[in-house]
Chain A
């Protein structure tokens, strides 16, 4: 499955990138799976996306959670808790 991942704010800075296209290995079916897989790539991913970090996820621009399913061509966003207003 091929997806696009985008990062915002402090997470974007920590990772040094705002966007990447990735081909996922089999078995990565949800946003939670993806986060764990990205964290397993080593630093800075492990630190920035670790389970202790408060990271929000959106799939195709809708807020989701670890169980939100992924699909071919999806845009998945990871970001810190929002602080607008």
Chain B
């Protein structure tokens, strides 16, 4: 799993094209892009600043990638997370997972985001017309990450949950590939 923490923006199409190059065994590409919402607590957001823990950030993202690769059949993966000052509408984070079939790609992509939200050392500070404040961690993020508990039964349950969610998104029952 390739991991990058950077100030500059990223080009989703170019990143995916680069990952896909020469991998004709891949049949599924799942991606997630997190972006800066334009409002916070009813006030217009002026900017968001992301702080991180250099060294640990990269190590924790790599560890999350290894964990995902141990759970699902992944052919390639990428996590890019931006730091510094961002504006409403800016891209914050990109997760891309390449796999033979979409079940693995969807599940691994969602798992990586859920774990990143609760384990990777990033902190957001928002500036609105009301002033500056640190974003508070949300219980819903912890709950989302805890769905992926590491014992076998929980992994199977999580797989089924992810499958159902994938089915919900497509409006069809969970397919085989």
Contact = CB atoms under 8 A, between A and B. Distances in A.
Given A9-B134, A10-B134, A63-B60, A82 B55 contact: no
B53 A58 contact: yes
Contacts of B121: 8, 58, 77, 79, 82, 84
B118 interface: yes
Interface in B31-64: 34, 50-53, 55-56, 59-60
Contacts of A9: 51, 123, 125, 134
A82 B59 contact: no
Nearest to B122: A84
B170 interface: no
A10 B123 CA distance: 9
B56 A77 contact: yes
A82 B134 contact: no
Interface residues of A, number: 17
A77 B28 CA distance: 39
Contacts of B113: 85
A8 B113 CA distance: 22
B124 interface: yes
Contacts of B74: none
A82 B92 contact: no
B151 to A, nearest CB: 19
Interface residues of B, number: 28
Contact of A8 (B51, B60, B119): B51
A61 B134 CA distance: 22
Contacts of B125: 9
Contact of A83 (B55, B59, B137): B137
A61 B119 CA distance: 11
A6 B56 CA distance: 12
B140 interface: no
Interface in B119-147: 119-125, 134-137, 141
Contact of A84 (B55, B59, B81, B134): B81
B65 to A, nearest CB: 15
